[in-house]
Amino acid sequence: MAWEIFGRNIRKIGVVGSGNIGPDIALYFSKVIHELGVPVVVVDIAEKALKSGEARVKGKLSRGVKTGAFRKEEVDSMVANISWTADYSQLSGADLVVEAATEDRMIKSKVFTQLEKICPETTIFASNSSHLEPEIIFADLKNRKRCLVIHYFFPAERSIIVEIVPGKDTESGITDFVMKFYEQIGKAPIKVKSRYGYAIDPIFEGIFLAAALLVEKGIGTVKQVDAIAQKALGLGVGPFTAMNLTGGNPITQHGLTQMHEKINPWFHCPGILDRQISIGRPWETPMMGEAVGYNENDFEMVSNLIKGAFFGLVCEILDSGISNIADLEMAVENALVMNPPFQTMNKIGVDKSLELVKACAKEWPEFPVPKVLGEQARSGKPWNIPFVFREDKDDVAVVTIRRPRSLNALNSSVMIQLAEIFTDIKKDKKIKGAVLTGFGVKAFVSGADINVLARIKTPRDAETVALEGQEVLNLIENLGKPVICALNGLAFGGGNELAMACTARIAKKGLAVLVGQPEPKLGVIPGFGGSQRLPRIVGLEKAWPILRTGNPISSSEAIKIGLISEEVDGDIKEAGIAFAQKVISGKVKVLPIERKPMKVPESLPEVDIGHLSRKTDEFLKKAILEGARMTLEEGLKHEAKTFGECARTKDMRIGMENFLKYGPKKNAQFSHA
């Protein structure tokens, strides 16, 4: 069966190599496409590797059944969808082949030369290289237009980041397709210009090098430096532990040696790494839960040099021009599981960050001080980190919120950037309408950032937060140009409120969970207009249980009650653009939201709020009913004031603390006070 996506048909996907990462790549493909009937074929010349890879995939999926991540029927389908073979001819007819063989130019070239004889001209060839430039990998091929690097990160079936690295001969249409394709299957691709090591590995291996040099100098043991680096950078695991987990010593040894020639002289293979490889043992790192002792002076020295190396390495990538602030921020945080670099520099001060990098250059004279960091420090301003992006398609501006780690949750940076972008759209005479959407396929916006809400201390704080958010939504609602919300996934809380401020909403078809106002589960009420706009869009009777229970509804329910205008198959952004153009041309009429006071019925249906706070429910009923009798403008201010009153309650604290500790899986034990 063919999967038609973004103008191409995907009938079969191939993975070459069943070693360290190939099986994980195949597992991810099968997980997201097994229901579409698109088979995944894994090829390896070693029968042992094939059996090992198959066992690894089955083992991971079996554990998924035990944890409740998958149903047994799903696992059976995923397993059956992957075939394991030594026969390259089984890749005949594949539309995408990802090579995940050994990091060796000659081996990779041999693989693709063979594939070129087997696969049709339309097949996209990708190498999961971690270092080699695409121009080197594909040099011997006749058709290099369809070739590029797709660099996965460990573990490939869970890490969302992939680096997409086109070569000088790669056709731009292929790159564009691969970027959209990987977003559609749940990854977060970043486009990187061709250079040895790409954007992320020089940071990963550079941090390891800095740690190794500190051990060599005798400032600390492997255990101590590993533990300090983990704490200093917010790493999931320390740099030496990461080498053990990924089996990365030999690749890093080669990578650092090549970076010495291809990036800058500071990169080199430290003697401690050569010795570790020669004895063939893992690094002696802290055991899980082990407390590693060190004195404060050593901690400060190691911490400062590790941070300086981190900031310098990230800014060197920026200096090189192969990537940008937004992509680096997202990729480093997610792929390397560590503190986001530019937010971290802003937090401690860009000038202080520059001092730390200069201290590294003093410690290691060949360590470069990036030009861009010096310029930013001299400006006296923090880094501007984009989370909201605008792309114009003729006379329609497409605005995308991208914070995949938090499912595109709204924080102050996102709200500020939305206001700036929509203000520019309002002034731009070339733009007749806009589409607002979210990055990825899981969420449009998962809500307001819970950390922002948890910091609220007083009713005045809460009311201010609500009014500031409402101001941005009011800008969108009153833009003077149609704004179509293209719901690419769920919209909860502030996400649904943002969607309701748009002229109209469309959603991907068949979403079992689309929108909801879960604020009562946190011990609060909506603050960005949910209690006012939802009744005016769908009617008070239909809004009443949705608001008071906090339970979500599906896309089919949303279209039935009139919350969305269309359910869409295919590309939601393109559908949003098409819908916007229909509204602009007058082919589709969208009724504006009712701004006058509403007629409130004498009685409304009983609603079972279960475990939810009765105190919060009182505030919510007050906001809904009293707000309905006001104009929309008055009702919004009333909601903000009532939202502020929630800050006086015990239940708001209980709800917030419960969510921060347990997430949405455990009900808060409200006191109803």
Q: Is the CA virtual torsion 452, 454, 457, 461 positive or negative?
A: positive
Alpha-carbon distance 197 to 263, whole Å?
Answer: 9
Q: Do 339 and 310 have their domain in common? A: yes
346 within domain boundaries: yes
Q: Is residue 672 part of a domain?
A: no
Condensed to tens digits (0 to 9), the pLDDT of residues 221-243 reads 999 999 999 999 999 999 999 99
pLDDT digits over 8-32, tens only? 999 999 999 999 899 999 999 999 9
User: Quick check: 248 pLDDT over 90?
Assistant: no
- CA-nearest of 536, 525, 647 to 596 is 536
My answer on whether 108 and 161 are in the same domain is: yes
Does residue 394 share a domain with residue 368?
A: no
Same domain for 650 and 556: yes
**82: phi then psi, degrees, rounded to nearest 5:** -105, 130
Q: Are 526 and 639 in contact (CB under 8 A)?
A: yes
Residue 93, number of CB atoms within 10 A of its CB = 15
Q: Is residue 673 part of a domain?
A: no
CB 619 within 8 Å of CB 646? yes
pLDDT reported for residue 416? 98
The answer to whether position 553 is within a domain reads yes
Q: Please report the pLDDT score of residue 112 as a whole number.
A: 98
Write the pLDDT tens digit of every residue in 68-117.
Answer: 999 999 999 999 999 999 999 999 999 999 999 999 999 999 999 999 99
What the block records as the tokens of 462 is 């809460």
pLDDT, mean over the chain:
96
Q: What is the CA 262 to chain-centroid distance, rounded?
A: 30
Q: Is the pLDDT reported for residue 163 higher than 80?
A: yes
- Spatial separation of the C-alpha atoms in residues 169 and 156, rounded to whole Å: 27
Residue 224 covered by a domain? yes
Domain extent, residue 395, equals 388-665
Assess contact for 105 and 136: CB atoms under 8 A: yes
* Domain boundary, last residue among 379, 396, 415: 379
Q: Residue 304 and residue 311: Cα distance in Å, rounded?
A: 11
Band of the pLDDT at 453, cuts 50, 70, 90? confident
Order of strands across the sheet that contains 433-438: 388-393, 396-401, 433-438, 483-487, 504-508, 566-568
Per residue in 340-399, pLDDT tens? 999 999 999 999 999 999 999 999 999 999 999 999 999 999 999 999 999 999 999 999
Domain contains 671 = no
pLDDT of residue 561: 98
Paired tokens of 38: 């698109």
Q: Does a structural domain hold residue 236?
A: yes
Residue 339 sits in the same domain as residue 461: no
519 belongs to the catalytic site? yes
pLDDT over 90 (residue 656):
yes
DSSP string of 392-431? EETTEEEEEE--GGGTT-B-HHHHHHHHHHHHHHHH-TT-
164: domain CATH number is: 3.40.50.720
Name the 3-class secondary structure at 391: strand
Nearest to 103 by CA among 209, 205, 13: 205
180 and 212 inside one domain: no
**Which residue among 191, 212, 233 closes a domain?**
191
CATH number of the domain where residue 660 is located: 3.90.226.10
In angstroms, the CA 514 to CA 280 distance is 52
Q: Are 527 and 493 in contact (CB under 8 A)?
A: no
Which one, of 86, 89, 97, 87, lies nearest residue 40 by Cα? 97
* pLDDT confidence of residue 259: 98
**Known active-site residue 626:** no
Residue 307 lies in a domain: yes
224, 268: one domain:
yes
Mean pLDDT of the region 520-539: 97
316 pLDDT tier (thresholds 50, 70, 90): very high
Whether residue 261 is found in the same domain as residue 348: yes
Percent of the chain with pLDDT over 90: 96
Q: What is the reported pLDDT for 246?
A: 86
The predicted model gives 582-597 an average pLDDT of: 96
Nearest to 126 by CA among 156, 166, 159: 166
**Residue where one domain finishes, among candidates 158, 191, 224:** 191
Is residue 404 a contact partner of residue 187, using CB atoms and an 8 Å limit? no
Residue type, 385: I
Structure letter (DSSP) for residue 591 = P
Only one residue has tokens 């080498």, namely 243
Token readout for 597 is 């006071």
pLDDT on residue 465: 95
Same domain, 405 and 323: no
Lowest mean pLDDT among 132-136, 289-293, 452-456, 571-575: 452-456
Q: Give the CATH number, domain containing residue 321.
A: 1.10.1040.50
Strand-pair category, 8-10 with 3-5: antiparallel
Catalytic residue among 133, 316, 463, 497: 497
Number of domain units in the chain: 3
Q: Is the Cα torsion angle 74, 76, 79, 80 positive or negative in sign?
A: negative
Is the pLDDT at 338 greater than 90? The verdict is yes
Indicate the helix (H) or strand (E) that contains 151: strand 147-152
The verdict on 60 and 98 lying in the same domain is yes
Q: Both 146 and 47 in a single domain?
A: yes
Which pLDDT does position 547 carry in this prediction?
Answer: 98
Active-site annotation holder among 157, 329, 519, 639: 519
Any idea which residue has 């949750």 for tokens? Answer: 409
Q: Same domain, yes or no, for 412 and 539?
A: yes
Measured CA to CA, the distance from residue 196 to residue 209 in angstroms comes to 17
